[in-house]
Amino acid sequence: MAIWETLDAEFAALDAAGLRRRRRTISERHGAEVVVDDRRAVNFCANDYLGLADHPALVDAAIAGAQRWGMGAGASHLVSGHFSAHDAAERKLANFVGCDAALLFSTGYMVNSGIAAALVGRGDAVFADRLNHASLVDGALLSRAELRRYPHGDVAALEQMLAESTAPRKLILTDSVFSMDGDIAPLPALFELAERFDAWLVVDDAHGFGVLGPQGRGALQHYGIRSPRVLYIGTLGKAAGVYGAFVAGDTQVVAWLMQKARTYIFTTGAPPLVAETICAAVDLIEAGDERRAQVAQLIARLSSQLRHPERLMASTTPIQPVLVGDNEAALTLAARLLEEGLWVPAIRPPTVPAGTARLRISLSAAHTTAQVDALAAAINRHLAV
């Protein structure tokens, strides 16, 4: 049997377990409403928490950026792909999240897969929450440091691991808002441990930037944490409604990352028009208290309307997972909702642990109360079947 022919059996196994992934195609977008696979539906899949992805100010900024700079950056940042627009975006982002400096990356995955190796290596140790995003796991593995994963949110277990470690350099790695559960990491306690054991603390605030903290300034501002040992990662393709990501922190530490993060050094810079759009997005986030209040109201509304509140996992963020359990049952429920014009993703292993398949509802300021009520009513009907 040729090597590619073995894939037939692998695909059959995925199908049998209800684990095969498939893409859907959006052909129109109007706020929270989309046309997906030729069906009109309300989108409860996107991480566009503030409803900014199609905001006219961002569209105008992108057009103006394209007219000024053209499209591609043409090279890596350290060769000839760094423009004044990138500088302006980095300064604006750093100031917004309360840090000294920031470094733009093309994607959040690139930040997360490159940052650990810039700070630790062989003989060192990374301590990571068990439910961290895959990109953080990959980054820890690429660092070649010892990877120790503590039970989700278990500060006592992490403390014991740190106390037992003889590694010369230690790094604590965590999401702020966990992408499939929606809960928030115990950041003050993690920071205290980092201080006590002289460790780096790297916080991936992909789902908190724009949502948490005063004016959406993120998880560190939410808890009042600032230290040269703390690095903050923000994603710009979620609440900001744009594209890319950044890492922010102490000036010297960020300068070191520019020297050592391979995923920054060896890739073409993001288009400068994106940097122009990022600046406009930060202004919208800062002025977005009404949008954040709308999201908070929708979170409370969903919880109050669901007939099976025990299925709704504990989350105060726009990520509202409804636990189903069985893979096929989650797929069936998602399909039934889509038939009613409600698009919610069914999340299955390996993204989540076996036996915890779920609907992952993402709420946005672009949603209306009527749309959330319709979703809750449909879930109530179909979960009762």
The CATH number that applies at residue 39 is 3.90.1150.10
Pick the last residue of a domain from 264, 286, 308.
286
Q: Token digits for 292?
A: 């954040």
Domain co-membership, 299 together with 376? yes
Q: Work out the number of other CB atoms within 10 angstroms of the CB of residue 79.
A: 12
199-213, 302-316, 337-351: which has the minimum mean pLDDT? 302-316
The answer to whether residue 4 sits within a structural domain is no
The answer to whether residue 76 sits within a structural domain is yes
Average of per-residue pLDDT across 12-34: 92
Q: Residue holding tokens 């903050």? A: 232
Pairwise CA distance, residues 301 & 236, whole Å: 27
The answer to whether residue 13 sits within a structural domain is no
Phi, psi at residue 38, to the nearest 5°?
A: 65, 20
Phi, psi at residue 313, to the nearest 5°?
A: -70, 155
Domain co-membership, 310 together with 183? no
Domain co-membership, 366 together with 294? yes
DSSP state of 366: T
Average of per-residue pLDDT across 108-135: 97
Closest by CA to 204, choosing from 172, 238, 176, is 176
Q: Check pLDDT > 80 for residue 384.
A: no
Domain co-membership, 334 together with 269? no
The answer to whether residue 10 sits within a structural domain is no
Q: Which helix (H) or strand (E) holds 77?
A: none
Q: Work out the number of other CB atoms within 10 angstroms of the CB of residue 160.
A: 12
Q: Supply the CATH number for residue 258's domain.
A: 3.40.640.10
Q: What pLDDT does residue 385 have?
A: 56
CB 326 within 8 A of CB 195: no
Domain co-membership, 205 together with 323? no
Pairwise CA distance, residues 113 & 99, whole Å: 21
Q: Check pLDDT > 90 for residue 309.
A: no
Average of per-residue pLDDT across 46-60: 97
Q: How many domains does one find in the chain?
A: 2
Q: Check pLDDT > 60 for residue 348.
A: yes
CB 18 within 8 A of CB 348: yes
Please state the residue numbers annotated as binding site for substrate.
Answer: 21, 133, 351
Q: What is the pLDDT of residues 189-245, one digit of tens each?
A: 999 999 999 999 999 999 999 999 999 999 999 999 999 999 999 999 999 999 999
Domain co-membership, 89 together with 31? no
Q: What is the pLDDT of residues 62-110, one digit of tens each?
A: 999 999 999 999 999 999 999 999 999 999 999 999 999 999 999 999 9
Domain co-membership, 274 together with 354? no
Q: Check pLDDT > 60 for residue 157.
A: yes
Half-sphere exposure of residue 330, counting CA atoms within 13 Å on the CB side? Answer: 26
Pick the last residue of a domain from 286, 321, 354.
286
Secondary-structure percent of the chain, ordered helix, strand, coil, rounded to 5: 45, 20, 35
Domain co-membership, 254 together with 305? no
Half-sphere exposure of residue 346, counting CA atoms within 13 Å on the CB side? Answer: 26
> 346 is in which domain, residue-wise?
21-50+289-383
Q: What is the mean pLDDT of the chain?
A: 96
Domain co-membership, 149 together with 267? yes
Q: Token digits for 119?
A: 């700070």
Average of per-residue pLDDT across 341-360: 94
DSSP state of 20: -
Average of per-residue pLDDT across 291-312: 93
Closest by CA to 98, choosing from 249, 233, 246, 230, is 249
Domain co-membership, 46 together with 186? no
Q: What pLDDT does residue 56 have?
A: 97
Q: What pLDDT does residue 310 have?
A: 84
The answer to whether residue 349 sits within a structural domain is yes
Domain co-membership, 107 together with 196? yes
**% residues pLDDT > 70 (the chain):** 99
Q: Work out the number of other CB atoms within 10 angstroms of the CB of residue 140.
A: 28
Average of per-residue pLDDT across 111-118: 97
- Give the gyration radius of the chain's Cα atoms: 21
The answer to whether residue 5 sits within a structural domain is no
Start-end of H helices in the chain: 6-16, 56-69, 84-97, 108-119, 134-142, 155-164, 187-196, 219-223, 251-260, 262-265, 272-286, 289-305, 327-339, 369-383
Pick the last residue of a domain from 257, 286, 315.
286
Phi, psi at residue 172, to the nearest 5°?
A: -95, 130
The answer to whether residue 305 sits within a structural domain is yes
Q: Backbone dihedral region of 151: left (phi > 0), alpha (psi from -120 to 50 degrees) or beta?
A: beta
Q: What pLDDT does residue 1 have?
A: 77
Banded model confidence at residue 358, pLDDT cuts 50, 70, 90: very high
Residues classed as catalytic: 179, 207, 238
Please state the residue numbers annotated as binding site.
Answer: 21, 108-109, 133, 179, 207, 235, 351
Domain co-membership, 79 together with 152? yes
Q: Check pLDDT > 90 for residue 34.
A: yes
The answer to whether residue 16 sits within a structural domain is no
